[in-house]
Amino acid sequence: MLISALDRKLLRDLSHLRGQVITIALVVACGIASYVTMKSAFQSLVYSQSTYYERYRFADVFASLEQAPAAVAERLTAIDGVREVDTRVVQRVMVPVEGLTRPAVGTVVSLPRHGSRGLNAVHLTRGRLPDPTRSDEALVLDAFAEAHGLSPGDRVAVVMNGALRQLRITGFGMSPEYVFTMPPGAMSHDPKLIAVLWMGRDAVAAAHQMEGAFNDVALTLEPGASQADVLGALDRVLAPYGAFGAVPRAKQPSHYMLSSELSQLESMAGFVPVLFLFVAAFLLNVVLSRLVYLQRSQIATLKAVGYADRDVGLHYLKLVSLVVLLGAVVGVAAGAWLGRAMTELYTGQYFRFPTADYRLTADVVVISVSISLAAAVVGALAAVRQVVSLPPAEAMRPPSPVVYRRSVLELLGLSRLLGPSARMVVRELERRPLRLALSSIGISLSVGIVVIAGYWSDAIDYMLDVQFHRSMREDVTVTFVKPLSARAARELQSMPGVWRAEGISAVAVRYRAGHRQRDSALMGYPRDLELRHLLDSTGERVTLPPTGVVLTRKLAEVLEVRVGDSVEIELREGSRRTTSATISGLVDEPFGMQGHVDEETFARLIGQSPTINTALLRVDRAERAQIFERLKRLPWVAAVSYPGEFREQFEGQSGSIMRVYTLILTLFASIIAIGVVYNNARIALSQRSRDLASLRVLGFTRGEIAAILFGELSAQVVLALPLGLWVGHLLVQALGATVDPETYRLPVFVSLRTFAFAIAVTVVSAVISFFLVRRKLDQLDLIGVLKTRE
Amino acid sequence: MDTTSTTVLVAKGLTKVYRMGEVDVHALRGVDFTLHQGELLVLLGASGSGKSTLLNILGGLDVPSSGTVHYLGQALHSASQSELTRYRRDNVGFVFQFYNLIPSLTAYENVALVTEIATDPVAPDEALALVGLGERLHHFPAQLSGGEQQRVAIARAVAKNPRVLLCDEPTGALDYQTGVQVLEVIDRINRELGTTTAVITHNAPVAKVADRVVTLADGQVHRDERNMTRIRPSEIRW
């Protein structure tokens, strides 16, 4: 015989239990798939990023300055710890594009001479590099070119140093420096609005009177070099040339955005899928141990006829392993497919990498499958051990009748309210509190993961609402090419159709309290500020006091200061003076850490009359288009955006990825919930079928015995629902702790919609399970059940 | 038949106390018992008299609370779990009141379950033919009548060529006609194969098919008598 009788039993059991096998395998598959999807997408992006950076020599340190003679470069190379220096001419330009209501913000970057690749090398995706001898050729950022449907050979208009030029596009390119592009002042990533143009060094220098000079430095460090020392030395060398302060790679805008996006993805790819995996494992453990325990009498028979404990254990190990492996195959395949899709979604819509390599590493598969397998094996072995520890003679008997007591309800004198059926339900539940607890915990965990899956959407909606409805109240945000005097705001105010204009100042500062410090920004607002509201944790507006500084709550926590304490503020540009201010209040902002002061305090702190970088406008909506036309023509306007439109844009990009993520997790969580509720019902049916058949023989109707079984199951679900919502809330809190609070803070907020959905998924899966079990119940073999012990 | 020859199983001073919920149940209170080579013994007793407990201990399915039990000189009362497993696997065939067939296996496969691990088995189809089920090899337990299921259980018990066949109320769940058929199978195995057999019943007329009848009452041996006129199962009436 090729296949032993015991293995035949295995296959037949699997086939007989197929409803349960399939649902349990799906629970496993969902746990594994969510882990594999998120982990592999995250790893693929990180891998693509690091190979991109390495291959295209992304710099470690960046510095920009007004202008320095080319010879200074040698002094930079001489700094201890510096490996390679690349000096460039980089200029902000305007790119008015046909069909765009607002001009795109452009950056012209000089290409290295002599055909050397330099740092932050450009990856050519189409066409050719510009001829270094020609001043009318440029290579264009491919995301921008694609967004506008440009082709090599087309011309693009560029306002360089106040003069309009027509440049011929020689090709498209991308660079690690511009993976993630965001126009200044904008809150969203819109490839249409930001252009990068690479041109020959001489052409850029000539256009900006920078011949024999540079205004931008990128450098790499020797392995083991101290970044802080190099930054300090760099600042010292460049200080006479109007340096704006060197920044490490961590603060380079594209990298900063990319890594905060990746860290957000990591928190999504880390906590939640691991949670799913463990929830699935826990449920697997409970369900399989019950399933095995139901075969108590068969286990005893196997022992009676001479099978050793080891043989029996092995038999059930094979059973559960097959279920898990079935789930693992489905889960890994689905996870790999979805992981690739997510990676492509990210790299296609969001990050620009020359190659988006999808990688599914063995450890991701091994870890997820092992955790599931281990949970199943532990569950099954615990059940087998429980049975084999009994002498076979005892295990073959049905378990001795358990001791029932009058239930609490009855002791409270409420027994008159309960009919015999309800009494059975109540006593059964009270008799087996552990089973009730495990079942309810299992269901509540699945409710909890449905909640946390839906949470991301809630968090986005909440943050968008706070940011764009309650905090930013302007119709139009105008960003300037460079800081301007307050006159600029007045000029905007006098524009037809503009009802109100408020200027906002921002300056890079270092906050210091004792030995703790943070580099961040100081924001200054007009005294009669209306168009920007600072909010506290309850969403209430915080008005700026005439003196003192209001800090982001997280910044105060980092500096370990409280309202009333004093904080030192050191300017990181211009005079670099250090002053101090009293902390007069705290605000809760979802992103970043800043200090906010009123304009007079701002002037006092920086020691000069403040300049403004941004203007907020309230306008006549009917004239918005004309206002844009006028703003476009102002040479000192770098970017114009509507906060009101941000939400739409966000939904179209980052938001859509988040929604996909939420959808995937919600789908998995729902399948897990269905699997758990269904298996609970099926196992309850097996456990109670003898009792229920006896009742049928005594004259109970099908409906009556169904009511008893469903009474018990309903009690589990009813108990699990509030517990599950609470578990969901706890999980959301735990999730908040996994993100870097200095970059952004997740609100602990779950919408009623999400709670309602989690309840609905559970209740609907309970109803469907009841319906399926009811069919089995109707087919209950009365005589058969009574004649045998199983 | 020389029933005084070899003693296969010897028990002395067996007691067994179960804890059932909140009370102690004394199932055996000092039982001395022997089972001789080749005999067919009937254990009679009312329900709760301790006969199943005694049989389970003899078969290595349970261990006594005190006392000794030996199988051909091997101590079972102090044997380890794996020794008991080996004892059951090599020497004992069981037949239970409720058949205890594996529902997902056919008649043939239920027998094969045992022959695959036995040292000197007969082929499953042969064993099934012996109990008159040569035609129903590939039926599942649910497709067989109670008597047929019990005969599969007997085939499963004897297919390993056991030294001892222990039957716990083999006719308990069966009607008269079917019960007689099952007893005939057991009787034939005892006569033709010479398998030492102990059969539990609470049904006194069944005792007439035995060589020896031991009656248990309240956990003690009440009577132990030789049946001088062993009859065929078909001749009994109840």
| B80-117 pLDDT tens trace | 888 988 898 899 999 988 888 888 889 999 999 889 88
pLDDT average, residue stretch A299-321: 89
Within a domain: residue B124? Answer: yes
Per residue in A731-774, pLDDT (tens digit) is: 888 887 777 677 677 788 889 999 999 999 899 988 988 888 88
pLDDT greater than 60 at residue A335: yes
User: Is B171 in CB contact (< 8 Å) with chain A?
Assistant: no
pLDDT at B215: 95
Confidence bin at A786 (pLDDT 50/70/90): low
Q: Are B89 and A305 in contact (CB < 8 Å)?
A: yes
pLDDT at A357: 79
Q: Are B116 and A1 in contact (CB < 8 Å)?
A: yes
A255: which 2 tokens?
């990298």
pLDDT tens for each residue of chain B, 238 residues long: 444 468 999 999 999 998 776 788 899 999 999 999 999 999 999 888 999 899 999 999 888 999 999 999 999 999 988 898 889 889 999 998 888 888 888 999 999 988 988 888 999 999 999 888 888 899 988 889 888 998 999 999 999 889 999 999 898 878 888 889 889 999 999 999 899 999 999 888 889 999 999 999 999 999 999 999 899 998 887 6
pLDDT at A789: 47
Contact between A23 and A679 under an 8 Å Cβ cutoff? The reply is yes
Mutation pick from A1, A296, A302, A305 vs chain B, by most beta carbons of B within 10 Å, is A305
User: Is A789 in CB contact (< 8 Å) with chain B?
Assistant: yes
Q: Are B56 and A12 in contact (CB < 8 Å)?
A: no
% of residues, chain A, pLDDT over 70: 92
d(CA A45, CA A346): 8
pLDDT at A102: 66
User: B 178-237 residues with CB below 8 A of A?
Assistant: none
User: Is B56 in CB contact (< 8 Å) with chain A?
Assistant: yes
d(CA B151, CA B133): 8
Per residue in A52-94, pLDDT (tens digit) is: 999 999 999 999 999 999 999 999 999 999 999 999 999 988 8
Task: Write out the H or E segment, with its range, that includes residue B215.
Answer: strand B212-217
Name the residue in chain B with its Cα closest to that of A11.
Answer: B104
Phi, psi angles (nearest 5°) of residue A18: -55, -35
At residue A171, what is the residue type? G
pTM (whole model) above 0.80: no
Phi, psi angles (nearest 5°) of residue A639: -150, 150
CA distance to partner chain A, nearest, from residue B20 (Å): 7
Q: Which of A422, A787, A541 is nearest to B144 (CA)?
A: A787
CA distance to partner chain B, nearest, from residue A687 (Å): 17
Q: Are B85 and A309 in contact (CB < 8 Å)?
A: yes
Contact between A228 and A517 under an 8 Å Cβ cutoff? The reply is no
CA distance to partner chain B, nearest, from residue A2 (Å): 11
pLDDT greater than 80 at residue A214: yes
Strands (E), A630-784: 637-641
pLDDT at A362: 93
User: Which residue among B20, B104, B156 sits closest to A16, beta carbon to beta carbon?
Assistant: B104
CA A225 to the chain's CA centroid: 33
Q: Residue A442 contacts by C-beta under 8 Å, 6 or more apart in sequence?
A: A282, A283, A286, A287, A676, A680, A720
Most confident of A110-124, A244-258, A715-729: A715-729
User: Is B123 in CB contact (< 8 Å) with chain A?
Assistant: no
d(CA A154, CA A170): 8
Within a domain: residue B4? Answer: no
CATH number of B86's domain: 3.40.50.300
DSSP output for A730-748 = HHHHHHHTTS-TTTB----
User: Is B175 in CB contact (< 8 Å) with chain A?
Assistant: no
Per residue in A279-300, pLDDT (tens digit) is: 888 888 887 887 788 888 888 8
pLDDT average, residue stretch A411-432: 74
Sorted by where each begins, the domain ranges of chain A are 1-58+256-400, 59-255, 432-470+648-790, 476-641
CA B94 to the chain's CA centroid: 5
Q: Are B100 and A301 in contact (CB < 8 Å)?
A: yes
Chain B residues inside the 8 Å CB shell of A301: 96, 100-102
Tell me what ipTM this predicted complex has.
Answer: 0.83
Strand order in the sheet with B196-201: B92-95, B164-168, B196-201, B40-45, B212-217, B220-226
% of residues, chain A, pLDDT over 90: 30
Question: Beta partners for B16?
Answer: B28
Per residue in A514-536, pLDDT (tens digit) is: 899 888 889 999 988 888 888 88
Buried (b) or exposed (e) across B45-80, using 16+ Cβ within 10 A?
beeebbbbbbbbbbbbbbbbeebebbbeeeebbebe
Name the residue in chain A with its Cα closest to that of B153.
Answer: A305
Per residue in A536-595, pLDDT (tens digit) is: 877 788 888 888 899 998 899 989 999 999 999 998 877 788 999 999 999 988 777 889
CA A371 to the chain's CA centroid: 24
Contact between A748 and A733 under an 8 Å Cβ cutoff? The reply is yes
User: Is B5 in CB contact (< 8 Å) with chain A?
Assistant: no
What does each C-alpha distance from A295 to A196, A309, A650, B100 come to in angstroms?
69, 14, 55, 12
pLDDT at B176: 86
User: Which residue among A1, A308, A391 sits closest to B62, beta carbon to beta carbon?
Assistant: A391
Per residue in A639-657, pLDDT (tens digit) is: 777 777 776 766 666 667 7
Task: Write out the H or E segment, with its range, that includes residue A784.
Answer: helix A782-787
Chain A residues inside the 8 Å CB shell of B21: 400-403
Task: Please state which of the ranges A348-352, A579-583, A599-603, A751-755 shows the lowest mean pLDDT.
Answer: A348-352
pLDDT greater than 60 at residue A185: no
B143: containing domain: 38-61+80-235
CA distance to partner chain A, nearest, from residue B138 (Å): 13
Name the residue in chain B with its Cα closest to that of A311.
Answer: B117
Contact between A472 and A495 under an 8 Å Cβ cutoff? The reply is no
What does each C-alpha distance from A778 to A191, A705, A706, A788 come to in angstroms?
62, 10, 9, 19
User: Is B173 in CB contact (< 8 Å) with chain A?
Assistant: yes
d(CA A649, CA A645): 6
pLDDT greater than 60 at residue A787: no
Contact between A148 and A601 under an 8 Å Cβ cutoff? The reply is no
Q: Are B102 and A298 in contact (CB < 8 Å)?
A: yes
Could you give the number of structural domains in chain B?
A: 1
pLDDT greater than 80 at residue A508: yes
Task: Please state which of the ranges A451-460, A697-706, A710-719, B144-153 shows the lowest mean pLDDT.
Answer: A697-706
CA A119 to the chain's CA centroid: 31
At residue A319, what is the residue type? L
Contact between B134 and B141 under an 8 Å Cβ cutoff? The reply is no
B5: which 2 tokens?
């020859």
Judging by beta carbons within 10 Å of its beta carbon (0-12, 13-18, 19+), is residue A660 exposed, middle or buried?
Answer: middle
Q: Are B118 and A8 in contact (CB < 8 Å)?
A: no
